[in-house]
Amino acid sequence: MKDDPIARVLDDLLKLDDILACMVARRNMISVMPSGEGFKPEVNNIWDSIHRAMDSVFGVIGEYSQIGLGEMEFRLQDHEVLFYVFPDTESALVAIVPALANKGLLEVEMENARREILKIMNPEVKTE
């Protein structure tokens, strides 16, 4: 896992204070997680609920990513879950952040991570 370049991108994201968890996932499956200690402890109490809700969102992503669905998000209790969809796939970069986080700043780094992962997945893809 430590040599996985996508995991390294996730490691970078998870170092940001307000990213409590991040992963590359699709419905019923987490494809890549950060290589280190996993998610931050704040997420533990709510992870089961968020995980169930995520699967429902992935149903929508699976249905609409082909026609350009780019991002989704939902708020559950004191957390928000951000989905950055990889174009034309059923997979997304997912991050769990506190509801009161400065989301605009996090979104910039989410977008950078999505672009980096896209390049890793398909080096020929031009993301800019």
Tell me which residues touch another protein (CB under 8 A): 12, 15-16, 71, 84, 99-100, 102-112, 116, 119, 128
Of residues 62 and 70, the one with the C-beta less far from another protein: 70
Looking at the DSSP assignment, which residues form a beta bridge with residue 75? 80
Of residues 27 and 70, the one with the C-beta less far from another protein: 70
Exposure b/e, 73-97, CB count within 10 A at least 16 = b: eeeeeebbbbbbbbeeebbbbbbbb
Taking a C-beta distance cutoff of 8 angstroms, is the pair 106, 16 a contact?
A: yes
Of residues 16 and 27, the one with the C-beta less far from another protein: 16
| Shortest Å, Cβ 100 to another protein | 7
